Amino acid sequence: MTPPLVALITAGSAGLGAATARLFARNGIRLVISYDSNGQRAYELVEELTNISPLTAASTDRQDNYVALKADLAEKDQISQLVDNTIFIMGKLDIVFSNGAWIRLRDINDLDDNVNEEDWDTCFNMNVKSHLWLMHAAKPYLDQTEGVFITTACLAGVIVSGSSLAYSVTKAAQIHLAKGLAQIAAPKIRVNTVSPGLMLTDVAEQVLCFVKSKSVTGVNAIIDGGMVL
């Protein structure tokens, strides 16, 4: 029997990360979800994933199929440790869903409100560099499984919009980063992005589609119901 796939979902305890985790669990994928501050929410989700997974019904051992790990995605060393811990627990890694981001609300049409250096530095660190560090840490293991690396971008990276100019620009950079990583990681690893609209379940389905497709890489899937047409 083919062993179950193993996925790591960062910022996985709520929102799109949690929606994707639920979909993965229902499809028999083993999971590590990372969280930053709300451990209770993460562990409650782990219990839910365990209960809805067909892996639980097929085995008397409920341990280690669904795990929550704490990690600050702004810290390169913690990202590397997160991957190391995932491998220690799961033994392999097939899927990385890099879902972390950072925003601060500004008036995007007011230049004076968009020149805060801390905003720019934090946005670039979280919305670009954290995905790069995660890919770098995970690449040896994804090479072994010929796996997939998926990041959550945003419509703000496609058109100038969103919470701030710093956010919009760094989300555009994230999309371009994914294309570069797809080129670097080929042919063994596929790299794609999703740019969500409003329906989290629709986006989660696209993430699963990227997992299943063996021929799609370097793609940014805009799932917005035609908002940017």
The CATH number of whichever domain residue 37 belongs to comes to 3.40.50.720
pLDDT digits (tens, 9 = 90+) for 67-78: 999 999 999 999
Q: Is 106 a domain residue?
A: yes
Q: Is 217 a domain residue?
A: yes
Domain of residue 100: give its range: 6-223
Number of domains forming the structure of the chain: 1
> Would you place residue 228 in the very low, low, confident or very high pLDDT band (cuts 50, 70, 90)?
confident
> Would you place residue 199 in the very low, low, confident or very high pLDDT band (cuts 50, 70, 90)?
low
Read off the pTM. 0.96
Q: Is 228 a domain residue?
A: no
- SS3 of the chain: the string is CCCCCEEEECCCCCHHHHHHHHHHHHCCCEEEEEECCCHHHHHHHHHHHHHHCHHHHHCCCCCCCEEEEECCCCCHHHHHHHHHHHHHHHCCCCEEEECCCCCCCCCCCCHHHHCCHHHHHHHHHHHHHHHHHHHHHHHHHHHHHCCEEEEECCHHHCCCCCCCHHHHHHHHHHHHHHHHHHHHHCCCCEEEEEEECCCHHHHHHHHHHHHHCCCCCCCEEEECCCCCC
Q: Is 184 a domain residue?
A: yes
Q: Is 1 a domain residue?
A: no
- pLDDT attached to residue 213: 97
